[in-house]
Amino acid sequence: MSATIVQSGSYLLEMGTGNLLNVFTLNSATLGVLDSDILEGEPEFADITSYADTITYRRGRQRVVDQQNQAGLLNFRMADNVAGGNLNPLYSGSTFWSASEGVPGLAPMRPVRLSRSGVYLFKGRVTSYTYEYQLGGLDEVNVHCSDDQLLLGQAVLPAAATLSQLSGARVTAILDNAAVAYPTSRSIATGTVTLGAYAIGTDTSASSYLQRVVEAEQGRLFVSRSGVLTFQNRIGSTLAAPPATFSDAGDIPYNEVSIDFDQTNVVNRAAVTIEGGTEQVSANSASQLTYFVQAVGISDSLLSTNAQALTLATYLLEPYPQPRYSRLGTSFALLTDPQRTTVAALEIGDTIQVTKAMLAGGSITQTLAIEGIDATITVSGGHAVTLYTSPQVVLNFLILNDPAYGILSTTNALS
């Protein structure tokens, strides 16, 4: 059953045991009915919430320039003394022992899920299960988990031809490849760029290839908190209103906010070359005079044309450093319960609004996109969340005859 963390909410941590529930059973009035779900059964999950004293999870990235398709991580620590020895993987009498397999129920590659008040915070698989005996002390279990991007890192593609297609269609084709056979839980955007019909070489890493697709699109690829592999279009603008507004005077409170004003973020020369194409360069000479040449390059882009390569090079330019809120942290102890529910449900790619009062007077408000989420949950300290962000532009729907929203501009969009 779920456990209540003071000033945070009700949490449930579960791990698959390897046993199946609701398996087809002959002559059973309920389980003897031919049904696809009954035939396959469903995995049994053990509630291990009460044994854990520290839980951390991390998804996404801290900066836009970081590699996008990194697997999300979940780690937690448990005390076997509290569990009465049932967490020991050598104990065949454990209530979590997998009778169907004759092996420890709590083991690597078992499914794991963490939720708050019925809303998932993380879904993935166990990668390691370490049991540490301590003479005269607590016997501790440290469990490390990954989301299902782990499966992409283990998949290798065979040599294959490709079609000229939108980036979203290419992602789907890779996921559907027999060598990958990624689970059907996915949400793939159409994409905004067309990729060329370039052959895939033998023994190509599926994860590395998808990173090249993300690089061409400049979108996001991640597993959501509910376990859905998600591909998003090019980053930069959205029609979605911010689901969360943070400030130091009203709205959702925070206990830390960082301002990023860094020369290393400057890009004043960007070069992109497609396979078999010519280098396409976009540069800002005025920025180079001040900050010297700060260059990025993509030498084997999957984009289909030189024109798209030039558009991407221009998109990558950041000629001048701009101060922005790059990280925000909040503790659930500071929030009301509705605010905790809002923050817990935030997802990578969501838009937030952050307002900070200035010491000299007034305040500065910025609209940002979430790039990464780090969190720690402890019995004594509750739930704390850190959000890593990137600049975001919120567009308005075009409204005919409206004095503000009826003008075609950079912030009013048809769709």
Report the pLDDT averaged over residues 398-414: 46
User: What residue type is assigned to position 14 of the chain?
Assistant: E
Rg (CA), the chain: 25
Name the burial class of residue 415, with classes exposed (0-12), middle (13-18) and buried (19+) by CB atoms within 10 angstroms of its CB. Answer: exposed
* pLDDT band (50, 70, 90) for residue 68: low
Give the mean model confidence (pLDDT) for residues 92-115. 91
Give the three-class secondary structure for 264. helix
Burial of 95: CB neighbours in 10 Å, binned 0-12, 13-18, 19+: exposed
pLDDT tens digits for range 9-19: 999 999 998 88
CB 332 within 8 A of CB 382: yes
pLDDT tens sequence across 265-317: 899 999 999 999 999 999 999 999 999 999 999 999 999 999 999 999 999 99
H helices of 23-181, in order, are 36-40, 149-154, 167-176
Residue with tokens 């951390």: 56
- Higher-pLDDT residue of 134, 310: 310
Q: Which residues contact 334 (CB under 8 A, 6 or more apart)?
A: 253, 254, 255
Q: Could you give the CA distance from residue 405 to residue 415 in angstroms, rounded to a whole number?
A: 13
Classify 129 as helix, strand or coil: strand
- What sections of 190-331 are H helices per DSSP? 206-217, 285-291, 306-316
85, burial (CB in 10 Å: exposed 0-12, middle 13-18, buried 19+): exposed
Could you state, in order of their start, the residue ranges of all structural domains in the chain? 3-54+68-116+123-138, 151-235, 238-260+323-397, 263-316
CATH classification number, 238-260+323-397, choose in 3.30.930.10, 2.30.300.10, 3.40.50.620, 2.40.50.100 = 2.30.300.10
How far apart are the C-alpha atoms of 34 and 19, rounded to whole Å?
Answer: 20
**What confidence tier does 23 reach under pLDDT thresholds 50, 70, 90?**
low
Strand partners, 78: 52, 141
Give just the sign of the alpha carbon dihedral 175, 176, 181, 182: positive
Looking from the CA of 147 toward its CB, the CA atoms found within 13 Å total 27
SS3 assignment, position 214: helix
Render pLDDT for 336-383 as a digit per residue (tens, 0 to 9).
999 999 999 999 999 999 999 999 999 999 999 999 999 999 999 999
> 3-state DSSP call for residue 164?
coil
The third-level CATH classification (topology) of the domain covering 151-235 is Phage tail protein beta-alpha-beta fold (3.55.50)
Q: Are 388 and 370 in contact (CB under 8 A)?
A: yes
Separation of alpha carbons 76 and 88, rounded Å: 16
Q: What is the pLDDT of residue 236?
A: 80
CB 294 within 8 A of CB 316: no
State pLDDT tens for residues 196-212: 999 999 999 999 999 99
